[in-house]
Structure 1
């Protein structure tokens, strides 16, 4: 039996019109979007078609997660072997927990709506920035982050995505100081101003969110699901709240997650959700790796058959 891993992307993977072909083709996808819309009393599919709404954290996160779950429902029926390994980047971790049946769908939708709202509120979009610092070691990056931070404006390592992609986040001033002050060392580049996610700027957001998260019910973990905080699989469902309750302020250990999966001899990876960010990260690390991106449906020329790709 093949060893298959499902990977779910995070915020910044969204784009106007995402999921449209799946929505039009599959009743199951429409049903999932309708269920989510009923839970939050907002049309989630319309959010996915609206560029301005997708630029706002409170809408982007719910749109991404629901689309990931809807596409996964199609993928799991299209492939021959069951999917046993699940990992999601930031908001994608909620899709991983839901698709692995550790978290109820309606509960996930409620949680992510609140998560996106508080992160958008405390993130203060426009006041913060993120930058790609390339392939420098984590220790060196963190030392430089401390050097260019002060009591008011600070920057820290937000996402350890791969050997070649280390993302820092913080106040716009601190990120700019870091990028300019280490130009000869890192050749860093500011990539967006979404917010200082996965840093201590999210402490108040995490505290508010945990008031809801602590009431969530996590079911028996029957599949292998990875935590962003540790970069390793959850031991069981009792670990989910303590670790997920820290995810918003901790570095996303995506590189460690991928390294762990490689040691488990995964035969096939599926990126399930909008875009192909995670696919590109894997391919840059190892061009021979077997990874597929379930972002769109393409009609195979001359056959009339449809294929996820």
Structure 2
């Protein structure tokens, strides 16, 4: 069974999407639609902007979404997913791929999400940190024991967990985690505490937009970050997508459930190769590769 997976923020690169735009009329049309929907030329930034330009939250999230969603459209008849999943932001691309959301509605939601998250980041000084070489349970316990807001945010693969919260609490947790034997506890260059309680203002803002968007029955199940299990019901997909902003990304658990349900070929659609690398660490017995466009 083919499992298509879609990357999130951080996968962006200079010049992303230009090859799709130049080679495929359907991609060119969708990119031009995106410029109209967003009200600025995101293609100029994606194709010709600097890495610094691409780091702006209002640009990064739509850019990564567009690259992945348009790539899935370009795959055409070859694109026959048995299951899909996306890492954080990537869940929106996954929902376009399995036809829960149409392209235009998904892009509008991604843009709203990016702006809402940016606003939430400005309310309190916050950050995230990658913790390498410790069991999840140890990281969770130390976060619970640390004063202030700090939580496990991204379960990327065994031995790699990202924590998120108020800057002082994250820094304090990092020191304790190093003492507990973490190979690394590295503060990440991000705008704020994604997938933590500090994203509550963004969750509330996005909830209204999601509730007012039409979600259709998918052509295959999506394994959502919040539940980690196969979801087919549009109302449940909505609920999980809203919860995602303040809940952890349970990528390790999602991949394991996809494998358990028959996923044997994991195909990454979008910029970068991060997710296929994580899949190999989660379960070395399955195949993982980038989507190939003819």
Q: Check whether TM > 0.5.
A: yes
Q: For 2:125 and 2:42, locate their aligned partners in 1 and report how far apart those are by CA, in whole Å.
A: 27
Q: Deviations over 1:70-118 (max 9, x none)?
A: 11112344x3x72221100111101111111111111111111110001
SS at match of 1:7: strand
SS at match of 1:33: helix
Q: For 1:247 and 1:97, locate their aligned partners in 2 and report how far apart those are by CA, in whole Å.
A: 14
1:159 corresponds to 2:154 = yes
1:223 corresponds to 2:220 = yes
SS at match of 1:175: helix
2:5 to 7, 17, 23: 7
**TM alignment of 1:154-233, pairs within 5 A:** 154-185=149-180, 186-187=182-183, 188-233=185-230
Computed over aligned residues only, the root mean square deviation of the Cα atoms, in angstroms, reads 2.0
Aligned-pair CA distance for 1:18: 1.4
What residue in structure 1 maps to residue 254 of structure 2? 257
1:23 to 4, 21, 24: 21
Q: Deviations over 1:212-258 (max 9, x none)?
A: 11101101122111111111111411212211111100001111110
1:117 corresponds to 2:120 = no
Q: Deviations over 1:12-55 (max 9, x none)?
A: 11122112222222222111111111212222222323222321
Q: For 2:211 and 2:113, locate their aligned partners in 1 and report how far apart those are by CA, in whole Å.
A: 13
SS at match of 1:245: helix
What residue in structure 2 maps to residue 93 of structure 1? 91
Question: After the TM superposition, which parts of structure 1 deviate over 6 Å for at least 4 consecutive aligned residues?
Answer: none
Q: How high is the TM-score relative to the length of structure 2?
A: 0.92
Kept after mapping to 2: 8 A contact 1:125/1:194: no
Unaligned runs of 5+ residues in structure 2 are none
Kept after mapping to 1: 8 A contact 2:62/2:111: yes
Q: For 1:127 and 1:36, locate their aligned partners in 2 and report how far apart those are by CA, in whole Å.
A: 32
Q: For 1:106 and 1:258, locate their aligned partners in 2 and report how far apart those are by CA, in whole Å.
A: 28
Q: For 1:243 and 1:215, locate their aligned partners in 2 and report how far apart those are by CA, in whole Å.
A: 15
Q: For 2:124 and 2:276, locate their aligned partners in 1 and report how far apart those are by CA, in whole Å.
A: 29
Q: For 2:19 and 2:166, locate their aligned partners in 1 and report how far apart those are by CA, in whole Å.
A: 38
SS at match of 1:124: helix
What residue in structure 2 maps to residue 302 of structure 1? none
Alignment length, in residue pairs?
A: 290
Unaligned runs of 5+ residues in structure 1 are 295-306
**TM alignment of 1:219-298, pairs within 5 A:** 219-294=216-291
Q: How high is the TM-score relative to the length of structure 1?
A: 0.88
SS at match of 2:230: coil
Q: Deviations over 1:141-195 (max 9, x none)?
A: 2221122222xxx211111111121110112222111112221322322232332
